A and B are shown apart, each in its own frame.
Chain A
Amino acid sequence: MTTKPAAHKRRATREEHRLGLLRTMTTIRRFEEACVELYSATRIRGFLHLYVGEEAVATGVLAALGPDDAVVSTYREHGHALARGVPMDAVMAEMFGKQTGCSRGRGGSMHLFDKSVGLIGGNAIVGGGIPLAVGLALADRMQDRGRVTACFFGDGAAAEGEFHESLNLASLWRLPVLFCCENNLYAMGTAIAKEHARTNLAARASSYGIESAAVDGMDVLAVEEAAREAVRGIRAGGGPRFLELDTYRFRAHSMYDSDRYRNKAEISTWKERDPIDALVTALRAEGHLTEESLAHLESDIGEQIARAVAAAEAAPLEPVEDLTRFVCSEEVEA
């Protein structure tokens, strides 16, 4: 099993894999930076919740999933959508409210869906997606599919009744769910210590009989490793797993706020742990990344974003006559 050529090949794959992780995280970061500008220029409207600083979480967890697995996300889900493989053009067009958007302009930033990659939202009710993920897992179990459902939510959701009800249910029925708690320390503007009597969220999940772990969410490699281990356990029939991914959002809750609830020192301390910088540093130290290749990566992503924006600008709007489409299904089961 560990012949030399294979080992060599695996090493090369690992390196490429890490560069792939870097590309994904950078894509998410640059995409969102472009969104900020487009929002400021009123090309994007509504709420816009940015994932800047948290890219390692979506990137690491989703790297551990297979193509048939399912993902349920939150309203801060640009990162999950891009990391899961929703085409950037479709995500950007959705931001613009265009027909070519991944939800045909009906969802916007908070409701990105893509059946082809198993992304079931984009849920803007805090905790609202958790029961849904449990049900998807139930359907998989009842139909003997080997699928795992990854369910993302934040530390704020852990205060919702739906979180507790759902963890209990998933554990009770040993369902194949990977609970991914993105603990960025704030439920909008409320610090975790002001919200939870017990801030160790992984410990609370353990109390439902779910195997749980806290992971450094600023380290994409650590996230991926923890997620792979958890997914293996779930596929082996061990029931749900819970990962608390400790992370931080560098920007406001939604687009802009005045950061009255946290101080600049805290923000800059976390920025020193920027997951992209950390991976860049590591790859450089290992000799896998040069200035030139990094610049190439950036310009590549920049062009991709520019194309996505141009395509979104040019894309048609959903005709108003179709306003009430998709309230009810258009085809009735025979």
Chain B
Amino acid sequence: MWGSNARSAHPIFFHHILKGIHNGARMYCVDPRRSDSAQWADVWLGIDVGTDIALANAVAKVIVDEGLHRLDFIEKSTTGFDDFVESIQSYTLEYAEQTTGVPGDVIREMAIAYATAESAQICWTLGITEHHNATDNVLALINLSLLTGHVGRYGSGLVPVRGQNNVQGGGDMGALPNKLPGFQDVEDHEARGKFEAQWGHPIPAKAGNHLTLMFEAMEHGDMKALYVIGENPAQSEADVGKARRIMRGLDFLVVQDIFLTRTAEMADVVFPAAADWCEADGTVTSSERRVQRVRKALEPPGDAKTDVEIVSMLAAELGYSWGLPKAEELWDELRSLSPMHAGMSYQRLEDLGGLQWPCYDEEHPGELFLHGRLWEDPPRGRLAPFSPIVHAPPVDQLSDEFPYRMTTGRHLDSYNTGVQSGGYDSPLRAGGTIDVSPEDAASLEIAEGELVTVSSRRGSLEAPLRIDEALRPGLVFMTLHFPDEADVNQLTIEAWDPQSGTAEFKATAVRLEKAAL
């Protein structure tokens, strides 16, 4: 587990991990906090925030130095090994210990355990991806799996655990600036032509902007209208004060949501939507690429309509007559255009409790894991490249003025900006606190429950202090669940990864002071 607190954020996935642990599987947990998940680990590696590449490269160097890399797999199925080995030479255990805060012998132990295990997986979530160098972090982990052959085999693999019930499905369906449904490239003429023929309309031939670039375009006045569906950027964006200023500068904002969110409050037009998971029919795709049916159990309130109805009605206003297609009809059209979904009829999804893509025809059972092709002889398709990666510390550096490293994450009973989870009374709800280590609470002379002023280079807020023994001195924590109480994204930095567009929510430099009464 690397940068994932699945015990709290993905509890039922963690049930499966616990079964493994009870069956004798060993778990190493890399996390700045001794999280709920870390408490189940054989070894907890309390890493300093944003030093994952230094750790991963040091692990790789141990594996290579000890001769534990899997040369047959590397030679047959990968490229760039020699350059990669050269790139990790400076990542000695001494350097890694100094940079990451994890003792060298512990790094060495994990490296040897990972390399010599019959099967091993690396699971990660936003602790890896909410950094300015998110893609590099992921590539550094991929390097480890290529070194050891822990990929594309039953029981081994790379497991990014998805944070939303259909964030995978959104990508699958082409809600990405450069992809059509089924991950077909929008700039691929043949693929695009297929969709254009089916839809009877040309599709822009160039990749669009991802969210972060959209905000830049809005800031520069290149983008003047925005249509937001089921997202709450007025509370979820990093450096949210700036994001709100930018959105206020728009000529026209449309928001389609099940609630009048803070973003919807800013809108010129609001489309009240039905809740997809219980007021409409359709599918979602889970973290394990499993496409499953969602079904209508409730009538939506008032004038709320399903997303399909709203989009169809909007199309009618724009002069296109789509009628009101049923979810299954849309899905069948998707199956005709996206080969990896072709075998997933509604009937099969119903009978089998979901199917994991790719699923090419109605006889195909779906794939339990990907990249098995790398083990074929010779490997099918493109060989897997090693990526030389250089450690780069968080953008928001610690200083005398901002000496604490703040990171963010989820609580078990709450979710994202609280739009959904705020609706029920949870006996566990802790509220928007600033969590600090017992040592820091003592040195700051602030007691639990007392108000603290938390300031970063971008903003400042007040929140009650909570002592958390899972934190080490110098590390503080806030959740994103309670923006109305503690607007944590006033503090976070919008520095973002140029490849994924994800902002560095996980690493903010802050100052703590007892709030003036």
The answer to whether A and B interact is no
Residues of A within 8 A of B (CB): none
Residues of B within 8 A of A (CB): none
